[in-house]
Amino acid sequence: MHLVGVTGGIAAYKTAELVRLFVRDEKEVRVVMTPGAARFVAPLTFQTLTGSPALLEQFTATAGERVRHIDLALSARVFVIAPATANTIGKMAAGVADNLLTTIYLAARCPVILVPSMNDQMYQHPAVQENLVRLRERGCLIMEPAGGELACGSSGKGRMPEPPQIAEFVRTALREKDFRGIRALVTAGPTREPLDPVRFISNRSTGLMGYALARALTGRGADVILVSGPTALPRPAGVELIPVETARQMHAAVMKSVEGCDLVIKAAAVGDYCPAVTAEQKLKKDGCEALIRLQPNPDILEELGKNKGKRILVGFAMETERALEHAQEKLRRKNLDLIVLNDLNVPGAGFGTPTNQVCLIDREGEVAELPLMSKDSLAHRLLDRIRPLLSGP
């Protein structure tokens, strides 16, 4: 059961969406509100979403209940307090139990996740910061507030993150840490090969798959370095991000970081060629036809394959024809343990889509075709396949 605590902040209206997301993943979701929260959002909203009454009263018990706060605290798999106001954070840090929510906190033995949300000046106040340090030391997981426009009209760090991000944080917190102790390097995104200060040659990669893999790996306890070409995606929390632009920069960053890595996943779409000359000034319209000559970029994965040692190497292959044959050839040529084949002809697969449909091919030639799924789910399926390779001889 997911237990959601709602306290009296304006962001409480977003918690309705968060609860809706939890209801999708979890059989039972219960909501406990402070009296302040009930002034912002009606308990009926949460009752409608969860199918169970939102709980507010500390000193009542309905049929079948023994001690309400103990029952709830013991049956929760996780207790997520979103938004967490300065007031509730202060009470939790001091061990005050003056309402049902703060009382449950003291009785809970499950992971407790706090999502502070308040005015930026309040958030920065040493009293709040010290309370958060105390709670963190006692094992609470704290999701940093986002920056941006605040309800009070000012702007700064204090906004409650969006519900999908909170749901992802919670999922990550609950996941088994089966990659703990593993150091992984992931590459993501496209590369850009400049023709002049204005233009470049690139490809349609958006980085979604590589970033999903980086998030999944950190969520499962790995130390992750993400070498990323230009994307519009936010830096995954807890990941060391090395931004690059060209294939040569990616090559240099990978070669510098790969030492000590147990696993490399190359999801980036690396440009195979770059302009032989990058013009210092903007190229003018006239006479460009003959100007663009290309030269090959290094094949990063092939180079890694030559010095593989015990490291597990996973590549991607993006194909439009004779897909399996090409992917198998790449697996052999690049000395890979696993190759993930994307067939661009499959609807919902490939660049820019939130979903993907792939085939996994291993060194023994075994081919496993996976169904269409979200890139986040696929990232975990891939890690499930990779995990036994890492513990192998």
Q: Active-site residues: which are they?
A: 152
In sequence order, which residues have a C-beta less than 8 Å from that of residue 162 and are 6 or more positions away?
14, 146
Residues 33 and 43: their CA atoms lie apart, in Å, by 8
- 315 touches ligand CTP (CB under 6 A): yes
Whose Cβ is closer to ligand CTP: residue 93's or residue 338's? 338
CB of 191 to ligand CTP, least distance (A): 8
Contact (CB, 8 A) for 187 and 254: yes
Q: Which stretch binds ligand CTP (CB under 6 A): 47-55, 157-165, 286-294, 312-320?
A: 312-320
Whose Cβ is closer to ligand CTP: residue 4's or residue 216's? 216
Phi, psi (5° rounding) for residue 144? Answer: -60, 140
Considering only residues 92 to 121 of the shown chain, the ones binding ligand CTP according to CB under 6 A are: none
Residue from 123, 185, 124, 161 nearest 18 by CA = 161
- 73 touches ligand CTP (CB under 6 A): no
Edge-to-edge strand order for the sheet containing 183-188?
A: 240-243, 223-228, 183-188, 263-266, 312-319, 338-343, 358-362, 367-369
CB of 259 to ligand CTP, least distance (A): 17
Edge-to-edge strand order for the sheet containing 2-6?
A: 29-33, 2-6, 78-84, 112-116, 141-142
- 268 touches ligand CTP (CB under 6 A): yes
CB of 318 to ligand CTP, least distance (A): 5
- 318 touches ligand CTP (CB under 6 A): yes
- 188 touches ligand CTP (CB under 6 A): no
Return the bridge partners of 112, or none: 79
Whose Cβ is closer to ligand CTP: residue 251's or residue 380's? 251
CB of 310 to ligand CTP, least distance (A): 20
Residue from 266, 107, 82 nearest 173 by CA = 82
Q: Which stretch binds ligand CTP (CB under 6 A): 65-73, 125-133, 146-154, 294-302?
A: 294-302
Contact (CB, 8 A) for 159 and 147: yes
- 192 touches ligand CTP (CB under 6 A): no
Number of H helices, E strands in the chain: 14, 21
Residue 204 host element (H or E): none
- 300 touches ligand CTP (CB under 6 A): yes
- 301 touches ligand CTP (CB under 6 A): yes
Whose Cβ is closer to ligand CTP: residue 15's or residue 297's? 297
- 142 touches ligand CTP (CB under 6 A): no
- Per-residue x/- track, 327-366, ligand CTP (CB under 6 A): ---x------------------------------------
Whose Cβ is closer to ligand CTP: residue 250's or residue 390's? 250
Contact (CB, 8 A) for 120 and 150: yes
- 247 touches ligand CTP (CB under 6 A): yes
Whose Cβ is closer to ligand CTP: residue 192's or residue 330's? 330
Residues 321 and 324: their CA atoms lie apart, in Å, by 9
Q: Which of 30, 68, 192, 266 is in the footprint of ligand CTP by CB under 6 A?
A: 266
- 226 touches ligand CTP (CB under 6 A): no
Q: Which of 99, 297, 356, 357 is in the footprint of ligand CTP by CB under 6 A?
A: 297
Residues 302 and 339: their CA atoms lie apart, in Å, by 13
Contact (CB, 8 A) for 22 and 4: yes
CB of 308 to ligand CTP, least distance (A): 14
Terminal Cα-to-Cα distance of the chain (whole angstroms): 39
The residue count for binding ligand CTP (CB under 6 A) is: 14
- 299 touches ligand CTP (CB under 6 A): yes
Burial of 307 (0-12, 13-18, 19+ CB in 10 A): exposed
Contacts with ligand CTP by CB under 6 A lie at 247, 266, 268, 270, 272, 297, 299-301, 315-318, 330
